[in-house]
Structure 1
């Protein structure tokens, strides 16, 4: 009987990729950049622990597609971060990987040329270079941990990570989160349910053993200690927002019942804004009011913001891309971002300073 192919029948090719160790040797983390990363992680941990009374705000483009525009945004954000640092701790949103319900552009790491050429090695180089440049500015960064291999290449530059609504229920991502070196925000499910997030928090806080790669790119058994700094991110779902005071109270009760950290971050975009960027500042105002009225569980916000307003489709001719405009979810522009952040800082300076621990 003729031998038949029994594996890789749907695999077109397998291309070797640079190892994490080799990429880091090409693009090492400087002492200044490492200080930015470590300080960012410590501040966020202190906020979660109630030792630091500030809110942290993850703010920036829905996704990164233009390196120069991203650096332009980072320079603006660094100035604003310094201005409001007595009350708010700003962390730049630097998202390279985009989960897709069906198909679409998967982000800078997967497809840096935005032409379905999927030059992933080029994407890793571009992504790491940008992360290092931003850290050199003294600005901490946040990202979504999506691909389970990518953290070995990039996570030494990251101060906070999110697990998205589509992957919070994934065992792979819960295991990965248990070993990451920074605080992790788990979003509620796309249907708005909290149970997947509370289950994820429990799982990630415990040790795990799973398949992964080491710094030499070899398949390895990864054994983790568990991550004590998981927390929930409310992003709405099922066509409904969940940032109002009733939803926040219900979330507090669910977290307490589950026996996990009663710390809540609110995503001002996605279902909480019905994907209308104009609503994001209104969500920020509502959260500000809740804190003034005595809320103690809200510890952070996420805001989708870019240099210019809205979003744009990816054109056939990339030269037609509008500068500083998102190619994924619509964002508020820089002027709106500055105004909303400054207003929040002014209103919360005294209430946060006198806030008691939850």
Structure 2
């Protein structure tokens, strides 16, 4: 076996004991989690906006971004629930490049997984304590979820992970909303199969234990666009795409049918500045059709303090070092537009 064992990592329990969530913050999180749950079970008409950097690359700029979101949330609280993207694991198509804070708590230094785990836990705690906003992350590694299980309020399963059995089974044991993205092929049956699997109960191996789960009825779909045979991006946020997904949901009879639309990635043709236009089209489709209004629960938007992207050593505070993002001014305007048009 060509693996070098560097060191044994602390258990999730040890990390949580070292960096606990206070009773006061647990109360705040539980209250917001209940609000979010009401949206996904159809008992609230509020709209979900999952927004933030492509990857959470440094604590200070991410927390400043969240502090700005918190002020906006107060103004739109009657219609929107804003959930900051604090994505601490970054999937890489070719395996090259920055893989997120869990690997490198400082992007300019060598990987250090133990310090990375502590850094991402601290960041999620500070987001809640300083902004009183609950957070979203992508579950790139199912075994790592245990380190953040008491902190996250929304989880996304990416296009390259959605067919993976361990991801599906792990989601079946979670009690928060989890969005399954369509795979890069765009096949919505794969996405719906994943939702169905996660809504069922299972017995399997997890972190060295035999475990059983109850199933997660809050698992739902995320449309993120696709890539065709020739590597070209194909959007799937248009009215006819949304209708097809609604019809497929109805044929399946899954619990709590819900859709989020990712306004970036293949939906934007990798053009981050198209996100406001895409969001507006989705909102128009939602107004046009009563089923879409019921089932489209939110949007996912990539946004940071400074628009665009830079290389790893660019040095611009609050500018993405992975995928390009909307800047703050355009993001703030978009949030207010969404609040006025849901």
TM-score of the alignment, normalized to the shorter chain, above 0.5: yes
Which residue matches 2:186? 192
Are the equivalent residues in 1 in contact too, given 2:163–2:190 (CA < 8 A)?
A: yes
Tell me the distance in 1 between the aligned counterparts of 2:32 and 2:209: 29
User: For residues 54-77 of structure 1, what are the alpha-carbon distances to aligned partners after superposition, in whole Å with 9 as ceiling and x for unaligned?
Assistant: 110100001011100011001000
Instruction: Please state how far the C-alpha of 1:31 moved relative to its aligned partner.
Output: 1.9
User: For residues 202-256 of structure 1, what are the alpha-carbon distances to aligned partners after superposition, in whole Å with 9 as ceiling and x for unaligned?
Assistant: 100111122222xxxxx21121111011110000102111111111000101111
Alignment map for 1:1-358 (pairs within 5 Å): 9-103=1-95, 104-114=97-107, 117-136=110-129, 137-213=131-207, 219-238=208-227, 239-260=233-254, 261-294=256-289, 295-296=292-293, 297-315=295-313, 320-348=314-342
Helix, strand or coil for the counterpart of 2:26? helix
Helix, strand or coil for the counterpart of 2:142? coil
Are the equivalent residues in 2 in contact too, given 1:234–1:265 (CA < 8 A)?
A: yes
How many positions carry a matched residue from both structures? 331
Tell me the distance in 2 between the aligned counterparts of 1:347 and 1:221: 47
Helix, strand or coil for the counterpart of 2:308? coil
Helix, strand or coil for the counterpart of 2:299? strand
Are the equivalent residues in 2 in contact too, given 1:205–1:228 (CA < 8 A)?
A: yes
Is the radius of gyration larger for structure 1 or structure 2?
Answer: 1
Are the equivalent residues in 2 in contact too, given 1:38–1:159 (CA < 8 A)?
A: no
Helix, strand or coil for the counterpart of 2:234? coil
Are the equivalent residues in 2 in contact too, given 1:63–1:107 (CA < 8 A)?
A: yes
After the TM superposition, which segments of 4 or more aligned residues of structure 1 sit over 4 Å from their partners? none
The TM-score with structure 1 as length reference comes to 0.90
Question: Which blocks of at least 5 consecutive residues in structure 2 are unaligned?
Answer: 228-232
Give the aligned CA root-mean-square deviation in angstroms: 1.3
Instruction: Please state how far the C-alpha of 1:116 moved relative to its aligned partner.
Output: 6.9
Tell me the distance in 1 between the aligned counterparts of 2:98 and 2:211: 30
User: For residues 8-54 of structure 1, what are the alpha-carbon distances to aligned partners after superposition, in whole Å with 9 as ceiling and x for unaligned?
Assistant: x3012241111111111111101232123222322222111111101
The TM-score with structure 2 as length reference comes to 0.94
Question: Which blocks of at least 5 consecutive residues in structure 1 are unaligned?
Answer: 1-8, 214-218, 349-358
